[in-house]
Amino acid sequence: MSVVVDGFAGDVTVKQEFPQSTNPERAARLVVELDHGRTSRPGRRRDRKSGMLEDSLGVILGEVEVRAVHDA
């Protein structure tokens, strides 16, 4: 999907981290990747035992905003 901030679009991909796994817990893990664009900033967040992806949504959206400002 594309997220637009102040006219600047950034691609955000949400997918299963291990789609071929037969382990239900592992198959349920998600990963969010942000388009790298013109930055070397990290753009990947994953479900982990230490924290779920849902807990990082604010950080992910903040990073989309930072990238839009950077592109501007």
Residue of 37, 40, 44, 38 whose CA lies nearest to 10: 37
Per residue in 11-69, pLDDT (tens digit) is: 889 999 999 999 998 999 999 998 866 667 778 889 888 888 889 889 888 888 888 88
Other beta carbons less than 10 A from residue 35's beta carbon: 16
pLDDT score at 44: 86
Put simply, whether the predicted model's pTM sits higher than 0.85 gets the answer no
Confirm if 60 and 34 have CB atoms less than 8 A apart: yes
- The pLDDT value recorded for residue 7 is 84
Within its chain, how far is the Cα of 51 from the centroid? 14
pLDDT at 4 over 90: no
Asked if pLDDT for residue 2 goes beyond 70, the answer is yes
Q: How many CB atoms lie within 10 A of CB 72?
A: 9
- Contact between 56 and 14 (Cβ < 8 Å): no
